[in-house]
Amino acid sequence: MAAKKEKSFEKRLLALEETVKQMEAGNMSLSDTLKAYEQGEKLADSLKKELAAAEERLTVLRGGEA
């Protein structure tokens, strides 16, 4: 079985934005809000990690300049 391919950065960012919109609308039950929050946290963490990796790559490409 092939490994599940991770969604692109852009797709994960859109998913996070949609999750926030749904939560801000205030039409979700407490249980659904908590699930959405957990999902949003996971998405945000994965996006932060990818951004940090990209910044590290840029630093290396610049020869260590900040």
pLDDT in tens, 5-48: 678 999 999 999 999 999 999 999 999 999 999 999 999 999 99
Whether the Cβ atoms of residue 19 and residue 43 lie closer than 8 Å to each other: yes
Cα–Cα distance measured from residue 24 to residue 28, given in angstroms and rounded to the nearest whole number: 9
Whether the Cβ atoms of residue 16 and residue 44 lie closer than 8 Å to each other: yes
- C-alpha angle 32/37/41, rounded to 5°? 150
Whether the Cβ atoms of residue 22 and residue 28 lie closer than 8 Å to each other: yes
Report pLDDT for 64: 77
Q: At residue 53, what is the residue type?
A: A
